[in-house]
Chains A and B, each alone.
Chain A
Amino acid sequence: MDADTVTPATPAPTKVDLRAEFEESGVREVLEELDRELIGLAPVKSRIRETAALLLVDRARTQLGLAHETPTLHMSFTGNPGTGKTTVALKMAGLLKRLGYVRKGHLVSVTRDDLVGQYIGHTAPKTKEVLKRAMGGVLFIDEAYYLYRPDNERDYGQEAIEILLQVMENNRDDLVVILAGYADRMENFFQSNPGFRSRIAHHIEFPDYSDAELLAIVKHMMADQSYTMTPTAEAAFSEYIRLRRAQPHFANARSIRNAFDRARLRQANRLFETAKGALDAATLSTIEEPDIRASRVFRGGLDSDRQRVKEESK
């Protein structure tokens, strides 16, 4: 027994225990949190795991004094709306903080409006302001392709792009930039701005959720807010998801969250109108089939959209 427990007080400087590093740095917690809180997204999770492994090994190499260079950590997240890009970016910031690649680990989320000015000389200070705020953390640029407008050569977006590229190159130790947007438009964006492509090492694609995953997501959301669905309501919700997907402006988890919010609204209304006397906690937190069936999705979506579909089919 003694032989097992006696270990040197300080680890030999010639060895690094990756397993212990993994536990100590808190990376495991972040990855477990990611697994627990995010449903689906298997390719994203495996990519993040790989990235974490790379960074961990890189850090170990630094500790042993092996030649190393700060790896390029800028990333691009591509995927349809509502596939969890912002949420993952937030987790990524936490992960990079634990590994010591960013000092503060906060996420600054911006879009074109925050970076690009409205008149000459307005863009540079605006972009710099944002970059200053993002120092020591992660800068998340949502719908990054709007920065580049090929139809207008005097567009101020180009100026913001140049400043961004410069900072991405020179301040690699200070901040990590994550660009996000639809896959096809990001592809166009990278094609017309080769500077970005070469400075971004990690391209992560976010797949759409399957119907089963969306149902699991809504159950997760409901559990978080202590709501439950009756089995019939659950069946109705699966049908809702199937129908909603075929309709325009479907935004994966975001659409589903909105559907849940509206179901809550209808449930409250129903309780208000039908309840006589005192209600118990179970009644207050149960969503029933009519709450979901009342959705316009079951009648073919919004009136304006239905109109358009009809015209197109003529």
Chain B
Amino acid sequence: MRITQGCFSFLPDLSDDQITAQVEYCLGRNWAIGIEYTDEPHPRNTYWDMWGNPMFDLKDAKGVMMELADCRKNHPDSYIRLNAFDSTRGFETVVMSFIVNRPKVEPKIRMVRTEVAGRTLRYTHEVVR
């Protein structure tokens, strides 16, 4: 099942040129780019593993693309996303995030119903490989 989270996730996967253009846009607004990866795409799993430090002082997207190539080489079968962090006082948050790499076979997310007291239903989701 295709995981959809962050920007552009309903579109076909971005090509490297398109990723470069997006990164240029982010750098143009002085956002710092961080690369993160995970094998657990559950929507509640907000904390992915960081690939190196966020890059605060880049001028050109090539620096990010080099790190991304490195990360892809080491984790070819993981989800990789780019986060853009806006350090402006008052924002200080991730303002853009998009997936740039997916495993060949994506895991499914299954909904589990549990019946509790008074026939109330509790819903939860789990990742099935």
Q: Which residues of A contact B57 (CB under 8 A)?
A: 133
A260 CB to nearest B CB, Å: 33
Q: Which residues of B contact A171 (CB under 8 A)?
A: 62
A166 CB to nearest B CB, Å: 12
CB-CB nearest in chain A for B70? A128
B70 CB to nearest A CB, Å: 9
Q: How many residues of B contact A (CB 8 A)?
A: 12
Q: Which residues of A contact B55 (CB under 8 A)?
A: 132
Question: Is B59 part of the binding interface, using a Cβ–Cβ cutoff of 8 Å?
Answer: yes
Q: Which residues of B contact A136 (CB under 8 A)?
A: 59-62
A132 to B60 alpha-carbon distance, docked (Å): 8
Question: Is B66 part of the binding interface, using a Cβ–Cβ cutoff of 8 Å?
Answer: yes
Q: Which residues of B contact A116 (CB under 8 A)?
A: none
Question: Is A202 part of the binding interface, using a Cβ–Cβ cutoff of 8 Å?
Answer: no
CB-CB nearest in chain A for B65? A135
Please pick, from A104, A125, A128, the residue contacting B60 in the complex, using a CB distance under 8 A: A104
SS class, residues of chain A in contact with chain B: loop
Question: Is A239 part of the binding interface, using a Cβ–Cβ cutoff of 8 Å?
Answer: no
* Mask of A129-173 contacts with B, CB within 8 angstroms, 1/0: 001110111000000000000000000000000000000000100
Question: Is A208 part of the binding interface, using a Cβ–Cβ cutoff of 8 Å?
Answer: no
A125 to B55 alpha-carbon distance, docked (Å): 13
Which one of A106, A131, A132, A135 has the greatest number of beta carbons of chain B within 10 Å? Answer: A132
Question: Is B50 part of the binding interface, using a Cβ–Cβ cutoff of 8 Å?
Answer: no
A137-B60 contact given A132-B55, A132-B67, CB 8 Å threshold: yes
Task: Assess the B62–A106 pair: CB atoms within 8 A.
Answer: no
Question: Is B12 part of the binding interface, using a Cβ–Cβ cutoff of 8 Å?
Answer: no
B112 CB to nearest A CB, Å: 43
Question: Is A174 part of the binding interface, using a Cβ–Cβ cutoff of 8 Å?
Answer: yes
| 3 closest residue pairs by CB, A with B | A136-B60, A132-B63, A135-B62
Residues of B within 8 A of A (CB): 52, 55, 57-64, 66-67
19 pairs across A/B with beta carbons < 8 Å? A103-B60, A125-B52, A128-B66, A131-B63, A132-B58, A132-B62, A132-B63, A132-B67, A133-B57, A133-B58, A133-B59, A135-B58, A135-B60, A135-B62, A135-B63, A136-B59, A136-B61, A136-B62, A137-B60
